[in-house]
């Protein structure tokens, strides 16, 4: 099932009316009269609203009362009171999809999708970088953001740094959990991976047409189950979850804050404030000044990680020289 920010009108009419009369019971007849829809339609919408995770109480002869919000990242929940200029105003929510990245890439060329978010509750074929697997069962936050940015291809190489800084700061602010960033695109908690991202850029003659940033965040997953599926993958270094099953949180608030911070950081990138982004990332980093070994397509490189260059690459001092690494996976020495 798919929900968007621009349809589901009838359902939203009922939900908005219930939300705006929080402490009252509203009868099916009242809702039908005020909203000018049939009683059967009211009943169908309320059934659906409950299935979507909202708590609606009902009492015989009195009617329905809104009690509690859903935890699902539904489009209208994300866009309501969102502080951004363009990001997240439009979104698609899938209960199940192969990969949000695949869907986002298909619609990305359309100009109206600038800032659009594609979210899934579950992915059947979640992708990592270099066609690796991303395990995305229910409980995580799996999403892709489409941008038609004003910055150049050179600056786009800094996007994983910018996105992971925004996400790391958001998690610390909203959930008060200490996170670290790990080059090039990971967020860790207790040294294990809690989020990863991947970027697909479409360009023509050095001009960016669209970018799709895919983000996988282990919000409330079972690390043991994910670990079982991953131990054979060569770059695996452990899985962490932000919340365990017994904890409650507010994922809608988390994603709204992220969208806001990400839009701000994209603005900085567009205005050439790369050193601000890099120094913010470095403060959160568990990579810089460490001895590292990196797996690259051309073999392993060992040395001390010195800094992130303006193009997002990592500068490493090996025994004999200083090297720049653009793509790779870090293993700590």
Q: Which residue ranges make up the site for ligand BT5 (CB under 6 A)?
A: 99-101, 123, 126-130, 132-136, 142-144, 185, 193, 196-198, 214-216, 218, 226, 230, 233, 235-236, 239
CB of 65 to ligand BT5, least distance (A): 36
Of 184, 182, 197, the closest CA to residue 296 belongs to 184
Query: Nearer Cβ to ligand BT5, position 144 or 168?
Result: 144
CB of 220 to ligand BT5, least distance (A): 12
Alpha-carbon distances of 267 from 77, 84, 213, rounded to whole Å:
24, 11, 16
φ/ψ of 323, rounded to 5, equals: -125, 155
Of 82, 81, 78, 44, the closest CA to residue 64 belongs to 44
Q: By beta-carbon distance, which residue lies closest to ligand BT5?
A: 196
Asked if 154 and 311 touch (Cβ cutoff 8 Å), the reply is yes
CB of 299 to ligand BT5, least distance (A): 18
Strands in the chain per DSSP E: 2-4, 55-59, 63-68, 91-94, 117-120, 141-147, 180-182, 186-189, 192-204, 207-217, 291-296, 299-308, 314-317, 322-325, 329-332
Of 166, 128, 150, 327, the closest CA to residue 259 belongs to 166
CB of 320 to ligand BT5, least distance (A): 28
CB of 187 to ligand BT5, least distance (A): 9
CB of 41 to ligand BT5, least distance (A): 35
Query: Nearer Cβ to ligand BT5, position 15 or 308?
Result: 308
DSSP string, 30-44: HHHHHHT--HHHHHH
Query: Nearer Cβ to ligand BT5, position 186 or 257?
Result: 186
Query: Nearer Cβ to ligand BT5, position 42 or 242?
Result: 242
Alpha-carbon distance of 147 to 216, in angstroms, equals 17
Query: Nearer Cβ to ligand BT5, position 144 or 210?
Result: 144
Query: Nearer Cβ to ligand BT5, position 123 or 313?
Result: 123
């Amino acid at each position: 099932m798919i929900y968007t920010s621009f349809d589901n009108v009838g359902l939203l009419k009922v939900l908005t009316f219930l939300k705006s009369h929080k402490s009252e019971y509203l009868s099916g007849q009242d809702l039908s009269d005020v909203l000018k829809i049939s009683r059967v339609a009211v009943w169908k919408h309320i059934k659906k609203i409950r299935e979507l995770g909202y708590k609606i109480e009902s009492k015989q002869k009195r009617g329905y009362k809104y009690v509690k919000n859903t935890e699902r990242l539904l489009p209208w929940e994300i866009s309501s009171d969102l502080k951004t200029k363009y990001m997240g105003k439009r979104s698609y929510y899938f209960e199940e999809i192969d990969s949000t990245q695949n869907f986002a890439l298909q619609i990305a060329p359309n100009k109206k999708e600038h800032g659009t978010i594609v979210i899934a509750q579950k992915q059947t074929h979640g992708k990592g970088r270099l066609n690796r697997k991303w395990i995305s069962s229910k409980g995580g936050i799996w999403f892709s953001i489409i941008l038609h940015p004003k910055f150049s291809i050179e600056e786009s190489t800094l996007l994983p740094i910018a996105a992971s800084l925004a996400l790391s700061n958001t998690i610390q602010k909203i959930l008060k959990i200490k996170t670290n960033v790990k080059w090039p695109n990971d967020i860790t908690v207790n040294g294990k991976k809690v989020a990863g991202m991947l970027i697909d850029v479409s360009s023509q003659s050095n001009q960016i047409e669209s970018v799709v940033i895919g983000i996988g965040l282990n919000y409330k997953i079972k690390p043991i189950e994910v670990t079982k599926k991953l131990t054979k993958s060569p770059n695996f270094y452990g899985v962490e979850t932000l919340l365990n099953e017994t904890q409650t949180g507010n994922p809608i608030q988390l994603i709204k804050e992220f969208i806001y911070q990400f839009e701000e950081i994209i603005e900085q990138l567009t205005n050439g404030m790369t050193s601000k982004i890099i120094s913010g990332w470095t403060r959160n980093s568990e990579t810089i000044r460490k001895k590292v070994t990196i797996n690259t397509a051309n073999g392993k490189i060992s040395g001390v990680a010195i800094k992130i260059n303006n193009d997002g690459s990592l500068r490493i001092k090996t025994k004999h020289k200083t090297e720049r690494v653009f793509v790779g996976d870090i293993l700590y020495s």
